[in-house]
Amino acid sequence: MITVNAMGDKCPVPVIKTKKAMQALTGPETIEVLVDNEISVQNVTKMASSSGGKVTSEKLGEGEYKVTIQMEGAPAASDAAEDTACIPDARGNMIVVMASDRMGEGNDELGKVLAKSFIFAVTQLEELPKTMLFYNGGATLTCEGSDCLEDLKSLEAQGVEIQTCGTCLDYYGLKEKLAVGSVTNMYSIVETMAGAAKILRP
């Protein structure tokens, strides 16, 4: 495990430090990058992904984020030349709404697999959503035991607001098991949806 401490560093320094650590690899290795803002998470994630790394990220606390990069070795020379310029905030005014823990009609197990794939696909969007809303059966996706937590934590670390309906958590007995994001109410859900430029539903 290699740790890159980029706390307090402004763009593009976190990307440069991470790239140097990647270029020094002689075999498979995991690199942990510590940063203090969401834009750095987005920039490091973009660079590492384009260099062949498997990237996840997590918000550890206020102003504290961890990006984990799994590499098979040093990136190819063409990858290493990837631009280190700072990208603007990748979040647009789009809202993703998850009203169920499954996607589509038909087989429930297939529906759950599709819902997980849908959330992963959201992590790969060029423009990330501003907020993801979870209510009714979708509330289970943000709680302990969900297969989607890794992807949702990665989105949260990049500044995506993960909000789950409090009434729904109470109904399903999950209030103490919320594992990512925050609790919201119906007024806030309606206000968020009303103000969105685009709403994406699976």
Q: What is the mean pLDDT of the chain?
A: 93
Determine if the pTM surpasses 0.85: no
Mean predicted confidence (pLDDT) in 154-158? 94
Instruction: Determine the Cα–Cα distance for residues 155 and 119; give it in Å rounded to an integer.
Output: 9
Statement: residue 33 has pLDDT above 90:
yes
Q: Which pLDDT band, with edges at 50, 70 and 90, does 75 fall under?
A: confident
Q: How far apart are the first and last CA of the chain?
A: 37
% of the chain surpassing 70 pLDDT: 96
The number of residues making up the chain comes to 202
Mean predicted confidence (pLDDT) in 30-39? 96
Instruction: Determine the Cα–Cα distance for residues 180 and 161; give it in Å rounded to an integer.
Output: 10
Task: Look at residue 54 in the predicted model and tell me its pLDDT.
Answer: 93
List the one residue out of 64, 56, 63, 68 whose CA is nearest residue 2: 68
List the one residue out of 38, 47, 40, 49 whose CA is nearest residue 20: 47
Task: Look at residue 88 in the predicted model and tell me its pLDDT.
Answer: 77
Q: Which pLDDT band, with edges at 50, 70 and 90, does 76 fall under?
A: confident
Domains parsed from the chain with CATH numbers: 2-80 (3.30.110.40), 94-200 (3.40.1260.10)
Continuous segment of H or E residues that includes residue 72: none
Statement: residue 89 has pLDDT above 90:
no
Task: Look at residue 194 in the predicted model and tell me its pLDDT.
Answer: 96
b/e code 99-128 from CB counts within 10 Å (16+ = b):
ebbbbeeeeeeebbebbbebbeebbeeeeb
Task: Look at residue 82 in the predicted model and tell me its pLDDT.
Answer: 56
Task: Look at residue 84 in the predicted model and tell me its pLDDT.
Answer: 66
Peptide linkage before 12 cis (omega within 30 of 0): yes
